[in-house]
Amino acid sequence: MRCRTGIFLIGVIALGGQSWAQSLSEARSLALGLQPAAVRDTREFITNPAGLVALRDWELSLGAYSDPSTVKNGFVFHGLAVGKRFLEHEAAAFRYTPGAEISFTIPPVLIIGGSNTPGSADREITYREPYAFAYAHRFSSEFSAGVGARVRQEEVVDTRYQLVIKDTISYAAVSKESYRATTWSADLGLQWRPSGIWSVALVARNLLRSTPGEVGTILDAYRLPSVLTVEGGLGVRPVPALDLYASASTSGIGGVGAEWMPGGGFAIRGSATVNRAERPALAAFGAGIGWSYQFFSVDVGVLHFLNDAGHRGSTSASRFSAGDIVSLDMQPYSRDRVTLSVRAIFGHVRESLARIEGVTIAAGVYPAARELLAYKPIGTARVRNISDRPIHARVSFFVDRLMDAPTESQPVYLVPGAEADVPVMAVFNDQVDRVSTQSIREGNVFVNATPAEEYDDRFQTRLLIHGRNAWDGDVMTLRYFVTPDDPAVLKYSRDELLGRRDSLAAQTGVPEQFERARTLIAAFAGKLQYVNDPRLSADFVQYPAETLDLRGGDCDDMTVCFASLLSSIGIPTAFVDVVPPGKPEEGHIYLLFDTGVEPRYGSAIAGNPKRYVVRRNAGGKETVWIPIETTVIARGFEEAWSSGAQRYFDDVEVGLGLAHGWVRIVDVN
């Protein structure tokens, strides 16, 4: 009778089961509700391995947890993670977490008495994920991917009770038997940042699974499911220093999170988690705070479950089901948790303050106009302040061999989280003039937001370098083909004037500057041949030395050559660019040169005032200018002058081209 009573009491005790849930490791991830779009370092790579590409260099993080429901609520070591970024676009990480464990004890629910008759068992069930690995690759500034592997250990310790009766005295004999299995699971994570405001994440878990391990034992009843689950996440930065996140999973778990960075290195976080398998569906709230300074950061996260009855660490043994545990991070038996994490960065320990989100190169480089590029941007770089304090960001651009040093832009002020398009400037050396044909070169864009020499981020782009004779068709850049200091130009002009010095000295009543210009133009005019239509080679212009050597060219080549010859002897020149409305194919360029004669003495140049133009020179003084039509220069100076004067009169005086904007006059020097 006494023995029967003891057996009954054991059966009543067996109705309860205890659980110890020790996952939910990282403080920032805990406070944000495990958002896959928020991952950016080793602490959270299990949530989304693609986020590893945000690493700066070596990184080490440590974590500890505390369970507020226990009497001894001190912090217990949870694990560590080590990550490394290499080859600019690659990153890898390893995590060792002995604390990533959940354990259950199921006492016996039935005892069968009798001599040498075994009873049912106390069963200790333990699930661990002590190891995890990940590798990530950045395909572009917007898109990255990562693969992860998790090692899961499952163990059941079955305690056998046997009632032994000896000499009318009954007692229980105990024996234990262990069953273990190790499973490998592979995950795939994707991260897309179409802009500095939005981020999108997609994670597929349990894509691959290794051989199940031990089968045909009681372990089979407690194996955790490894079904394929897909989780999507979305992040948005509506205002600087505030990030909002949302996620949903095919497992029925989702939520929202927010992170605010008020400054001073602080971050304040909060989240709400929804689980369709629980009642209420709003399962938990998270909160946390973080602080970082240069290469060190510390975070604290708190998670509280609303269903206290379901997350108190025990449940009915009859209700326990291993199939309910989809993830060790968030499962029906998790209890409230306080987590502490610390992180340190080694190697490249300086904190990156800015990131290049993208680079746009507006057009190719025309070597003839390289001086203009020192003042005119060749493109823009979109720069984002990724720190929690205001910065002054500067962008530099460099092309190997074609530049002596990177060209730096003016600093741009950015508040935390803000973006700006910073002009990309380029100062090229003389090597660019030796590029004979169109080619593609690699260019590097750097952003720097600190006084240190090392850059915060780098972006590689491609730059189109046109051949040295290429021209973009703009008369403003045509003047860069004028080379009065070229030795060939100087020699020709000096030789021609010296050879005619006696005839020039004999001239009387004719302004000296006009006569010198007429003599020089006439000397070379008879040696030239106009070769083609003005616009058929609008993208190709000969340098004056080439025209002197070839003794031929189109209107652009002739105009550039004569402007160089006149400029070499100190005579100011200008281009007249004509593009008739609706008839761009009839566009044309001809030349003006300054006689230095005041308008009141214009009759000394020509009796007909329609044969010259009165305009201000570079000194602001009005003088008489002569129009020259270079396409007929081979017929002589007088024919070129008459044709140029008639054209100017028709285009400017009659057609009002200057007033309507289809005629432009551009001073060369």
CATH number (domain holding residue 435)? 2.60.40.10
Name the more confident of 349 and 657: 657
Alpha carbon 405 to its chain centroid, in Å, reads 23
End residue of a domain, out of 406, 433, 465: 465
Measured CA to CA, the distance from residue 448 to residue 450 in angstroms comes to 6
Can you spell out the DSSP letters for 198-209? EEEEEEEEEEEE
Name the nearest CA neighbour of 587 among 466, 468, 474, 482: 474
- Asked if 174 and 306 sit in the same domain, the reply is yes
Q: What is the pLDDT of residue 163?
A: 64
Measured CA to CA, the distance from residue 353 to residue 392 in angstroms comes to 10
Measured CA to CA, the distance from residue 559 to residue 592 in angstroms comes to 9
- Asked if 152 and 267 sit in the same domain, the reply is yes
Q: Where in the sequence is the domain holding 403, given as residue range(s)?
A: 354-465
Measured CA to CA, the distance from residue 40 to residue 38 in angstroms comes to 6
> Is 587 part of a structural domain of the chain?
yes
Q: What is the pLDDT of residue 103?
A: 75
- Asked if 45 and 106 sit in the same domain, the reply is yes
Q: What pLDDT, in 10s, does the model give residues 546-581?
A: 998 888 888 888 899 999 999 999 999 999 999 998
- pLDDT bracket for residue 23 (50, 70, 90): low
- Asked if 333 and 412 sit in the same domain, the reply is no
Per the document, the length of the chain is 669
Measured CA to CA, the distance from residue 651 to residue 665 in angstroms comes to 12
Q: What pLDDT, in 10s, does the model give residues 214-254?
A: 556 777 777 777 788 999 999 998 987 899 999 999 988 89
Q: What is the pLDDT of residue 486?
A: 93
Angstrom distances, CA of residue 316 to CA of 15, 290, 321, 342, 669:
6, 38, 10, 37, 94
Name the nearest CA neighbour of 573 among 594, 542, 544, 597: 594
Degrees to nearest 5, angle at CA 625 with 624 and 626: 125
3-class DSSP assignment, residue 272: strand
CATH of the domain at 595: 3.10.620
Q: What is the pLDDT of residue 271?
A: 95
> Is 470 part of a structural domain of the chain?
no
CATH of the domain at 64: 2.40.160.60
End residue of a domain, out of 346, 370, 400: 346
- Asked if 449 and 479 sit in the same domain, the reply is no
Mean pLDDT for 643-669 is: 92
Can you spell out the DSSP letters for 290-314? EEEETTEEEEEEEEEES-TTTTSSE
Counting residues of the chain whose pLDDT is more than 70, the rounded percentage is 83
- Asked if 451 and 515 sit in the same domain, the reply is no
- Asked if 523 and 440 sit in the same domain, the reply is no
- Asked if 436 and 525 sit in the same domain, the reply is no
- Asked if 76 and 224 sit in the same domain, the reply is yes
End residue of a domain, out of 439, 465, 491: 465
> Is 513 part of a structural domain of the chain?
yes
What's the count of helices (H) and strands (E) in the chain, helices before strands?
A: 11, 33
The answer to whether residue 193 scores a pLDDT higher than 50 is yes
Tally of structural domains, the chain: 3
The answer to whether residue 536 scores a pLDDT higher than 70 is no
Q: What pLDDT, in 10s, does the model give residues 101-124?
A: 777 777 664 444 444 444 545 778
Does the global pTM surpass 0.75? no
- Asked if 110 and 192 sit in the same domain, the reply is yes
Query: Given the DSSP bridges, would you call strands 529-530 and 552-553 parallel, antiparallel or unpaired?
Result: parallel
Within 323-416, residue ranges assigned H as helices are 370-373
Name the nearest CA neighbour of 60 among 343, 358, 271, 279: 343
> Is 69 part of a structural domain of the chain?
yes
> Is 241 part of a structural domain of the chain?
yes
- Asked if 505 and 555 sit in the same domain, the reply is yes
Mean pLDDT for 158-176 is: 68
Name the more confident of 328 and 596: 596
Report the range out of 89-98, 273-282, 302-311, 327-336 with the highest average pLDDT: 89-98
- Asked if 340 and 362 sit in the same domain, the reply is no
Measured CA to CA, the distance from residue 480 to residue 474 in angstroms comes to 11
Alpha carbon 562 to its chain centroid, in Å, reads 48
Name the more confident of 538 and 613: 613
